[in-house]
Amino acid sequence: ITRGHQNKLFLTLQNRTRIPPCVYIGHKEPPPGAEAYIPQRYPDNRIVSSKYTFWNFIPKNLFEQFRRIANFYFLVIFLVQLIIDTPTSPVTSGLPLFFVITVTAIKQGYEDWLRHKADCSINECPVDVVQQGKVVRTQSHKLRVGDVVMVREDETFPCDLILLSSSRHDGTCYVTTASLDGESSHKTYYAVPDTMAFRTEQEVDSLHATIECEQPQPDLYKFVGRINIYKDKEEPVARPLGAENLLLRGATLKNTQHIYGTVAVYTGMETKMALNYQSKSQKRSAVEKSMNAFLIVYLCILISKAVINTVLKYAWQCPNISFTYSLYCTFLDTFSLLQVIRAFTDFLAFMVLFNYIIPVSMYVTVEMQKFLGSYFITWDEEMFDEELGEGAQVNTSDLNEELGQVEYVFTDKTGTLTENNMEFIECCVDGNVYIPHSSGAEETDESCEHEDLFFRALCLCHTVQVKEEETVDGIKRGIHQGRPTSFYISSSPDEVALVEGMKRLGYTYLRLKDNHMEILNKDDEIERFELLHVLNFDSVRRRMSVIVKSSSGEYLLFCKGADSSIFPRVVSGKVEQVKARVEQNAVEGLRTLCVAYKRLSTSEYEEACHHLTEAKLALQDREQRLAQAYDIIERDFVLLGATAVEDRLQEKAADTIESLHKAGMKVWVLTGDKMETAAATCYASKLFRRSTQILELTKKRTEEQSLHDVLFELNRTVLRQPHGHTRTEQDSNFDCLDFGLIIDGATLSAVLKPNQEGAAHGNYREIFLEICRNCSAVLCCRMAPLQKAQIVKLIKASKEHPITLAIGDGANDVSMILEAHVGIGIMGKEGRQAARNSDYAIPKFKHLKKMLLVHGHYYYIRIAELVQYFFYKNVCFIFPQFLYQFFCGFSQQPLYDTAYLTLYNISFTSLPILLYSLVEQHVTIETLKREPSLYRDIAKNSLLRWPVFLYWTCLGVFDAVIFFFGAYFLFDNTTFTSNGQMFGNWTFGTLVFTVLVFTVTLKLALDTHHWTWINHFVIWGSLLFYVIFSLLWGGIIWPFLNYQRMYYVFMQMLSSGPAWLSIILLITVSLLPDVIKKVLCRAMCPTATERAQVGFALKWRLYKAAFFTPK
Amino acid sequence: MMASTYNAKDEDGHITVAGPGGGTLRSRKPENTAFKQQRLPAWQPILTAGTVLPAFFVIGLIFIPIGIGLYVTSNNIKEFEIDYTGVDMSSPCFNCSQNFSWNSTRPCTCSIPFYLDQPYESNVFMYYGLSNFYQNHRRYVKSRDDSQLNGDSEALTKPSKECEPYAFHDNKPIAPCGAIANSMFNDSLELFYNDPNGTKVQIHLMKTGIAWWTDKHVKFRNPGGNNPNLTVAFQGTTKPVNWRKPVYELDSDQENDGFINEDFIVWMRTAALPTFRKLYRIIQKKKDMVLTLPRGNYTLEVVYNYPVRSFEGRKRMILSTISWMGGKNPFLGIAYITVGSVCFFLGVVLLIIHHKYGNRNNSADISN
């Protein structure tokens, strides 16, 4: 590897640490000169996606696993058991921990092995490298920075390459980046102009050049570099390199025979692809947060239990020395260090005894529930889109339940609410309207200069590609026959719609060949324009321009863009007429664009050229410099006209929004579109109803009044509605006045600007939020992508901390998708970036309804029950043990046998709750879809709030008390059998445990509303398993055990009548309060969900009656 | 291709889950099975006042009779209890309880007269009861070696370390080792019927059948297999510190000697609570006599060996008859009656609620 940095060239750089790396093509050093280079080391082209090697797997994996707080907790418990004399053997906590750790390690090891295999096959795939003028085949991982690589058609690039030359004469090549960002459209990449003429290996090998480029960074669409080409002792020629020159690893070459590329800086783990797959930041759900809070409560309970027992042991029990344990108390006569240590060991022993209250299995179950549960989303047939051939996709299963908690929905407009299937409707030139397929076109036949220019402008000012189905020569013929064998592709559907619209109006864009754009005009003549510069579209400028040279040698600049970005730059033209038309179209919900042009003199052109080249060559701040250059060039336009394109609403978009409203969610539309267009869409999609009172907070308004006044006035308007009234409004949205807010980007940034006029006016934010809170729908238009994220962040941080959901389809929505609690991507036409960065991806907006109202609702109630039930069953499990300490001299004697302690959470009670949390449906899917308002029942984490948690915990304590004292009074000083024989402490424990297992399982059965055959199988099966296990466990003298305490205990217990009777009695009593609570709550104050359940049952009964009576 | 492999990358050892939806699942229509579409046929019960009502009445109607039956049975059981600890000066065993040590050679005896005001029919079970004795103390419970008790010859000479500090004595292994065995109850109780004509008739006490059959025949085995000579089998071991005689001299009967001595087995089954009773002897009903124990005066003769005063314990002797549901225990019957009545009462309350609220709800639903 030969690399270095050339001090001379980087004198302008301020920041020394960011000196870009430099590549010597073909490993040839630059001609001896001023450049002194320091060789730098760069990674080879080996891709390492695996995390572990054979040697470090065990230590590294263990370290990673024990970094988890829960695993660490169990490890500590296990170690304590190993070290001190504890009531339960280390096996009881070691076994589950070992199981969990092993399963995880095996899973991760297997995945890593797969990764190793994949890495291997990637690293060893053959690559053609040009060396000494010959093509040599080598393995991918042997590639070095600076190698010249030859890639053939349909091959994947082995690393990030700079395109030197292509087999196509114009030095372009087509590439699909489907595996990187999912966009299957072909993208054009350009060779460096100075090297694009190379045809053979020898020629390529003779190249003498260096490449400088920025440090590796993950943005797929950004690259800044420069190539210096040395020709025979001349001064090197510097050429800019941009993203259009960089072929990314993972992309595939299409429609091009072969290319020569040089390995750019980025090989191996530095390629953009590798950088992109680094793990994303993890979002955590609200349920997880409350689960952690509960855990802390339980940890406190655990510690206080241990403390209470330790204190009591020493304060109360030891003075009354009983001879059985006098042995262990004799040291306590004097206060000493030994005593402190002794007390501390006792404390630890109690901790170990009660540690099951925080079960390791809960984590496993929750993870499994999330993982397995998320399959129901991907399996859902209703969320499958035939057209796309894809169903919903789950990118993270951590947030399933968050889908049931959404309070704010932020949606993009284009492509999300609307189809993003653009259709050209009309255009207007100087106020004359042209509509394709109507006589309108002919009517205005008076050939005015502007009309010609307008159509040419639309034919030239775009980045549409023509995709041929036949070879290059085939196009012309195809189009001449009137059967276009070619179609247009572009990243922007608007452009396609415009170019196609032009075609219908008689001007056909044919192709771009040798930098000349060819247009077939109305008279079937081919016009050729030399394409000199493309000033690309960006969402900040909201316009794009091209500079072309017509065949007559004229320099023309065509620009099209949003009206707001064009009108201020127009100096002449029929502005008023066009503006009127644009506004009219916008009100109808059409997307409008304005077209303007400017003639450039040769000197002006050269100046523009100079600006652009300078900016493009810059290595630092290139973006900014380009923006400045564009700003200088794009001014003093002559307005030509405007276009209107229709974007139809997505199927059922209105229905979905209405459902979301009824479900109590607030829907905000965030769009970059014009206010009028966006408002029209909002009305069409029923976001705003006719009755909605629209509040405007726009630039237009703040120009008249100060922002301060406007805000306060709006606030007054909103608050004038009495508060009691807003309550009822929730139920009857229709007859009540509700508010809709429209705000634009400029005003928003003014509102959010911190402390502009001192502290007194600093809280615009609060007033703004207050207004928003009282509006059922908000429309934010003219938003920059970053502003979308800002809004989401603002709402997220407001004092209620609502759960937000962002949904969008384009690259401009990625920031808000990443910001929101739940990000949903729509697999849209504008590429896959949104879907790739989202947590869930769905094909269409309408699927959001099922996603939230059905899946989200189910996941939430399932996981809420899972969490509560887990804590409940462990209170039931451990609390009797706590009570038992009072009757065994605080000696940490476990109530249950070791096997029961270990298996309780692992097998006796694990499956029913796991299954419940996978398949429970408290109401049917249809009901949930029909009645979106049921979603309100679970809003604000209602099933995991502290009162509910307290109820479950109290229920657990009550049950535990029943189990323990029930058994206590039955056992108290009496015989249990008909042969007079006595039972011991293990029978006592087994009796409590049997009641416990049955009660806890039956409690879940009472909570189950959806009994499929699997539920029956698992619930009754796990009870049966408990019985069979106990029979087996007590039926044999187990040779490997050093104690036989359970021998025949279970059978002896079952052989006694009173034991049966008391088991039945205790189970009944334990379940009674919960049943009564359920019945009373349902009868006295039923929730909407409960009404829906009854409603369903009644209908079902009626249906059944109707079905059976005729017989 | 890389994309799918990276998906599975874990962050920090969570059992995280990349989520489904890798490359292969795409572009395939999900299967339309009832399970995958969450449309499995299901029974959807709802707990309403209406559906729960009958259950409450049924529970009430079943539980109350059971409870009454249990209560009556329990009341028919005769039980007699006498505390012979000797705490009071007046108690006949006061002297014995005073000068006590485990190793006193001269046995102390005392006899306590008592009067049974009811005749005892059928088999009578004689228990000894101890109070404030924490047989369920953790270190006590585990201080035993089940392998040794199961006749394992290796464990006989090398007792488990759980038995410490009662594993070795004078460098000889203790058989049976451990604190439980060491503290075995060693009072002997005998019962005499004072005939109205003045003669003292000793009542035959059966000392077998008091331990679980499985314990006696499977769990507890003497070492040396069927070797009838227990003295040889236990050679090389020493008796527990507190015992007066070695384990092979517990009984003259070969079938009740050594580890399979039933008194020993009963003691080894540790009690659940600090106040407990253990079966001591059985007084079998004689064929010719109607009454096992007629009404009258009796004397309990105690060989007072077992010290309880050090931990303020109490010793009792209990005579009890047994029914199908065991000994006297009014709790179960009362509990059944209470729960049954509560259920019945709740049933009535729910009936009222159902009438008051039920119709309202249903009508509201139907109108929906």
Which chain B residues have a beta carbon less than 8 Å from that of A68? 12-14
Task: Give A699-720 pLDDT, tens digit per residue.
Answer: 777 777 777 778 888 888 777 7
Determine the residue of chain A that is closest to B359 in CA distance: A1083
The residue extents of the domains of chain B are 50-77+332-368, 80-321
Q: Give me the count of residues in chain A.
A: 1111
Q: Does domain A1-45+143-276 have CATH number 3.30.1560?
A: no
pLDDT of residue A849: 93
Task: Give B125-145 pLDDT, tens digit per residue.
Answer: 999 999 888 888 888 898 899
Q: What residues of A are annotated to the active site?
A: 412
DSSP B355: I
Q: How many Å lie between the alpha carbon of A367 and the closest alpha carbon of chain B?
A: 7
Helix boundaries (H) for A277-432:
286-312, 323-329, 337-354, 360-373, 375-379
Interacting residues of A153 by C-beta distance below 8 A, sequence separation 6+? A253, A254, A255, A256, A257, A258
Residue matched to tokens 């609060």: A766
| Mean pLDDT value across residues A619-629 | 79
Determine the residue of chain A that is closest to B353 in CA distance: A1083
Q: How far apart are CA A831 and CA A845, in angstroms?
A: 16
When pLDDT is cut at 50, 70 and 90, the band that residue B100 belongs to is low
User: What mean pLDDT is reported for chain B?
Assistant: 83
Angle at the Cα of A740 from the Cα atoms of A739 and A741, rounded to 5 degrees: 120
Q: Half-sphere exposure of A913 toward its Cβ, with a 13 Å CA cutoff?
A: 31
pLDDT of residue B11: 36
Query: Could you say which of B6, B17, B27 has the minimum Cβ distance to residue A390?
Result: B27
Q: Is A58 on the interface with B (CB under 8 A)?
A: no
Determine the residue of chain A that is closest to B64 in CA distance: A1065
Higher pLDDT, A744 or A473: A744
First-to-last alpha carbon distance for chain A, in angstroms, is: 89
Report in angstroms the alpha-carbon separations of B169 from A1021, B174, B176, B241.
51, 6, 12, 7
The segment with the largest mean pLDDT, out of A539-553, A1080-1094, B271-285, B306-320, is: B271-285
Determine the residue of chain A that is closest to B366 in CA distance: A1095
pLDDT of residue A916: 95
| Domains A1-45+143-276 and A407-417+650-718+737-751+764-820 equal at CATH topology level | no
Interacting residues of A207 by C-beta distance below 8 A, sequence separation 6+? A25, A26, A148, A164, A195, A198, A229
Q: How far apart are CA B143 and CA B148, in angstroms?
A: 12
When pLDDT is cut at 50, 70 and 90, the band that residue A782 belongs to is confident
Q: Which residues pair with A555 in a beta bridge?
A: A549, A600
B327 vs A974: CB contact, 8 Å cut-off?
yes
Which chain B residues have a beta carbon less than 8 Å from that of A179? 1-3
Residue in A1072, A1066, A898 with CA at minimum distance from that of residue A998: A1066
The residue extents of the domains of chain A are 1-45+143-276, 49-127, 407-417+650-718+737-751+764-820, 423-437+449-470+484-648
pLDDT of residue A1043: 84
- Tell the CATH superfamily of the A423-437+449-470+484-648 domain: Calcium-transporting ATPase, cytoplasmic domain N (3.40.1110.10)
Q: How many Å lie between the alpha carbon of A647 and the closest alpha carbon of chain B?
A: 26
Q: Does domain A407-417+650-718+737-751+764-820 have CATH number 3.30.1160.10?
A: no
In the three-class reduction of DSSP (H, G, I as helix; E, B as strand; rest coil), residue A492 is classed as coil
Which chain B residues have a beta carbon less than 8 Å from that of A966? 335
Higher pLDDT, A559 or A620: A559
Query: Could you say which of B21, B52, B277 has the minimum Cβ distance to residue A982?
Result: B277
Q: Is A420 left (phi over 0), alpha (psi -120 to 50) or beta?
A: left
B310 vs A273: CB contact, 8 Å cut-off?
no
Determine the residue of chain B that is closest to A275 in CA distance: B6
The phi, psi pair for A242, rounded to 5°, reads -130, -175
pLDDT exceeds 70 at position B7: no
When pLDDT is cut at 50, 70 and 90, the band that residue A330 belongs to is very low
The DSSP annotation for A1016-1080 comes to HHHHHHHHHHHHHHHHHHHHS--TT-S--TTTTHHHHHHT-HHHHHHHHHHHHHHHHHHHHHHHH
Assess contact for B147 and B325: CB atoms under 8 A: no
Q: Which H helix or E strand runs over A131?
A: strand A126-131
Report in angstroms the alpha-carbon separations of A682 from A289, A643, A677, A795, A950.
35, 21, 9, 21, 44
pLDDT exceeds 80 at position A10: no
pLDDT exceeds 90 at position A122: no
Which chain B residues have a beta carbon less than 8 Å from that of A1097? 44, 46
Task: Give A645-702 pLDDT, tens digit per residue.
Answer: 887 888 888 899 999 999 999 999 988 777 877 888 888 888 888 778 888 888 777 7
Angle at the Cα of A982 from the Cα atoms of B268 and A995, rounded to 5 degrees: 105
Is residue A850 marked as binding? no
**Which of A337-351, A610-624, A644-658 has the weakest average pLDDT?**
A610-624
Q: Is A1036 on the interface with B (CB under 8 A)?
A: no
Task: Give A855-882 pLDDT, tens digit per residue.
Answer: 999 999 999 999 999 999 999 999 999 9
| Mean pLDDT value across residues A47-64 | 84
B44 vs A1048: CB contact, 8 Å cut-off?
no
Q: How far apart are CA A608 and CA A630, in angstroms?
A: 9
pLDDT exceeds 90 at position A260: no
Task: Give A895-918 pLDDT, tens digit per residue.
Answer: 999 899 888 988 899 999 999 999
Q: Is A337 on the interface with B (CB under 8 A)?
A: no
A925 vs B282: CB contact, 8 Å cut-off?
no
Cis previous bond, B165, omega within 30: yes
Pairing assessment for the beta strands A739-744 and A693-697 based on DSSP bridges: parallel
What is the Rg, in whole angstroms, of the alpha carbon atoms belonging to chain B? 32
Task: Give A836-862 pLDDT, tens digit per residue.
Answer: 778 899 998 999 999 999 999 999 999
First-to-last alpha carbon distance for chain B, in angstroms, is: 53
When pLDDT is cut at 50, 70 and 90, the band that residue A1091 belongs to is confident
Q: Which of B1, B4, B17 to mutate to test the interface with A (most CBs of A within 10 A)?
A: B17
When pLDDT is cut at 50, 70 and 90, the band that residue A762 belongs to is low
Determine the residue of chain B that is closest to A923 in CA distance: B44
pLDDT of residue A51: 79
When pLDDT is cut at 50, 70 and 90, the band that residue B21 belongs to is very low
B11 vs A887: CB contact, 8 Å cut-off?
no
Neighbour tally for A705: CB within 10 Å: 12
Assess contact for A655 and A845: CB atoms under 8 A: no
In the three-class reduction of DSSP (H, G, I as helix; E, B as strand; rest coil), residue A510 is classed as strand
Assess contact for A591 and A639: CB atoms under 8 A: no
Residues 177-216 of A with CB under 8 A from B: 179-180
Q: Which of A837, A888, A1019, A1072 to mutate to test the interface with B (most CBs of B within 10 A)?
A: A888
The phi, psi pair for B323, rounded to 5°, reads -110, -170
Is residue A35 marked as binding? no
Interacting residues of A80 by C-beta distance below 8 A, sequence separation 6+? A86, A348, A351, A352
Q: Is A114 on the interface with B (CB under 8 A)?
A: yes
Higher pLDDT, A59 or B357: A59
Q: Give me the count of residues in chain B.
A: 368
Residue in A408, A415, A509 with CA at minimum distance from that of residue A455: A509
When pLDDT is cut at 50, 70 and 90, the band that residue A1110 belongs to is very low
Neighbour tally for B27: CB within 10 Å: 10
Q: Percentage of chain A with pLDDT > 90?
A: 21
Task: Give A199-257 pLDDT, tens digit per residue.
Answer: 777 777 777 778 877 777 777 777 888 888 877 666 777 888 888 888 888 788 877 77
Which chain B residues have a beta carbon less than 8 Å from that of A1080? 353
| Mean pLDDT value across residues A557-574 | 86
Q: How far apart are CA A875 and CA A904, in angstroms?
A: 12
B134 vs A376: CB contact, 8 Å cut-off?
no
* Number of A–B residue contacts, CB under 8 Å: 369
Q: How far apart are CA A926 and CA A374, in angstroms?
A: 20
Q: How many Å lie between the alpha carbon of B327 and the closest alpha carbon of chain A?
A: 5
pLDDT of residue A280: 53
A1013 vs B40: CB contact, 8 Å cut-off?
yes
Task: Give B282-327 pLDDT, tens digit per residue.
Answer: 999 887 767 888 899 999 999 988 888 877 889 999 999 998 888 8
Q: Is A891 left (phi over 0), alpha (psi -120 to 50) or beta?
A: alpha
Q: How far apart are CA B93 and CA B109, in angstroms?
A: 8
Task: Give A512-534 pLDDT, tens digit per residue.
Answer: 777 788 888 888 888 888 888 88
Residues 947-986 of A with CB under 8 A from B: 966, 968-985
**Which of A107-111, B71-75, B200-204 has the weakest average pLDDT?**
A107-111
Q: Which of A288, A918, A1065, A1087 to mutate to test the interface with B (most CBs of B within 10 A)?
A: A1065
pLDDT exceeds 90 at position A134: no
Q: Half-sphere exposure of A1042 toward its Cβ, with a 13 Å CA cutoff?
A: 12
Q: Is A902 on the interface with B (CB under 8 A)?
A: no
A324 vs B324: CB contact, 8 Å cut-off?
no
Higher pLDDT, A46 or B204: B204
Determine the residue of chain B that is closest to A1012 in CA distance: B42
Task: Give A472-495 pLDDT, tens digit per residue.
Answer: 333 343 344 444 456 777 767 788
User: What mean pLDDT is reported for chain A?
Assistant: 80
B357 vs A1084: CB contact, 8 Å cut-off?
yes
pLDDT exceeds 60 at position B86: yes
